[in-house]
Amino acid sequence: MDSTSFYAHILGLNSPWLVSKVDLNTALGEVRVHVRHASEDALTCPECGLGGPLHDHAPERTWRHLDICQFQTLLVCSVPRVLCPDHGARQVSVAWAEAKSRFTLLFEALAIDLQLHCARRRAAEIMGVSEDSLASIARRAVDRGLARKAKEREEGETLTSSHLTLDEKYWRGRHCATVVGDALRGVVEEMAEGNSTASAQSALKALGKVVLAKVESITMDLHGPFATAARREIGESKIVYDTFHVVKLVNDAMETVRRGEVNYYLSMKDKEGAKILKSARFSILRSPANQRGRSKEAVANVCDWFYQTGEAYKLKELLRIYHELPDAASVRKHLLGWIEEAKKSTLAPMVKVSKTIAKHLVGIVRSIEMRVTNAAAESLNARIQAVRVKARGHRHYEAFRTSVLFHLGGLDLYPRPRGESCPVSA
């Protein structure tokens, strides 16, 4: 077997493409494989598939391939252009690479695998290319995956479950993104910049009518713009407010009361009272089941000697047990009773929380009725944070979105040879 046949075989080139020449340069450590189209009478338009005569040849181009025998391998070809009766002169599709790519399908497949498993800088060192080149491969992979997912959604073959999550993620300073997740599969379905009603609506609309029509629940925190967007796109009856965020709301209100009472004692020059309240901060946040020794003593002191914080603590504990009740009717009755108790108190933060819970009561009760939580969204947030750490941060939103969807989007990222359904694997 001569060198041209050898390289044609390992590159997987079939008629009408053939290897015309192989140039080995040991000084540079590279091998240049020259490829040409064998039959210029059998050219087809890449857009419509119609045959046509040869128009001319495009300038010679180079594609980076996987290293062979420790030599950097480059494919070189002057691609013919066909004269299509409908589209005019068009460059024919090559068998070894996608349009507008400077890398072969196998090279891109390996680059995708490496970026999924290690930092881009390390992947660039292994592949012998720049980080920018790998970033462009990742962008193409995400675009490819999103296009395939959109097609599946249109055809009704989507894997997206009927239980979604809606949350926000801060990716740089105060810049955040709206994240729509699949609660059952644990993947990011869509993203949009910002955390407004418009951004949440944009993310939900991008799911498509087929996905939105089969949604049974969408779990979120008590962020108003998200509820408005979900109400418009999915419907009020499918919104679920997560238990964790309801309890967090009352915890934050209790903390506001505690700080206010600490400041009161400091203003009265009672440093000892302020010290006791300060040291009880984490003890009163714990549930009674998790309190031990000093924590129990600190909570007892707060309830006995500090009226405002003690009252806030009792209201917090009274609310917290609602998710332990057996059914939705019991939860609704309990929450209505709690709202009345909170409104009777003189604690402004608690009164504010009671109004918030009353406004979102139906969605809060629904979380118990449907037994769904925002745990999947919180898990996704942690994994998104891991992606941020791996990338050492992102300069702009599009880079952040690409990185998240590349790792967590559940996308079919790999390129496929033209006309084949199976992706290329390195």
Q: What global pTM score does this model have?
A: 0.84
Q: Is residue 411 part of a domain?
A: no
Phi, psi of 399 (to 5 degrees): -65, -40
Q: Is residue 234 part of a domain?
A: no
Give the residue from 325, 349, 370 where a domain finishes: 370
Q: Is residue 170 part of a domain?
A: no
Q: Is residue 286 part of a domain?
A: yes
Q: Is residue 305 part of a domain?
A: yes
pLDDT for residue 384: 92
β-sheet bridge partners, residue 90: 82
pLDDT for residue 419: 55
Phi, psi of 398 (to 5 degrees): -60, -40
pLDDT for residue 425: 56
Distance CA 145, CA 406 (A): 9
Q: Is residue 33 part of a domain?
A: yes
pLDDT for residue 105: 93
Q: Is residue 267 part of a domain?
A: yes
User: Residue 164 to residues 160, 197, 312, 323: CA-CA distances in angstroms?
Assistant: 9, 17, 34, 21
Query: What is the sign, positive or negative, of the torsion defined by CA atoms of 149, 153, 157, 161?
Result: positive
Distance CA 178, CA 161 (A): 19
Give the residue from 102, 137, 160 where a domain finishes: 102
pLDDT for residue 202: 95
pLDDT for residue 177: 95
Q: How many domains does the chain have?
A: 2
Give the residue from 370, 396, 421 where a domain finishes: 370
- Provide the residue range defining the domain that includes 34: 3-102
- Is residue 167 a contact partner of residue 220, using CB atoms and an 8 Å limit? yes
- Is residue 164 a contact partner of residue 181, using CB atoms and an 8 Å limit? yes
85 prior amide bond cis, ω within 30: no
pLDDT for residue 37: 86
Profile the chain (426 residues) by mean pLDDT over runs of 10 residues.
83 86 91 87 80 86 91 92 87 88 94 94 94 95 94 87 91 92 90 95 92 91 91 92 89 94 90 90 86 86 90 93 86 93 92 93 89 78 90 91 95 80 55
Burial 25-56 (b: 16+ CB within 10 A, else e): eeeeeebbbbbbbeeeeebebbeeeeebeebe
CA 101 to chain centre: 26
What 3-state DSSP class applies to 407? helix
Element containing residue 163 per DSSP (H, E): strand 163-172
Query: Residue 397, exposed/middle/buried by CB under 10 A (0-12, 13-18, 19+)?
Result: middle
Q: Is residue 77 part of a domain?
A: yes
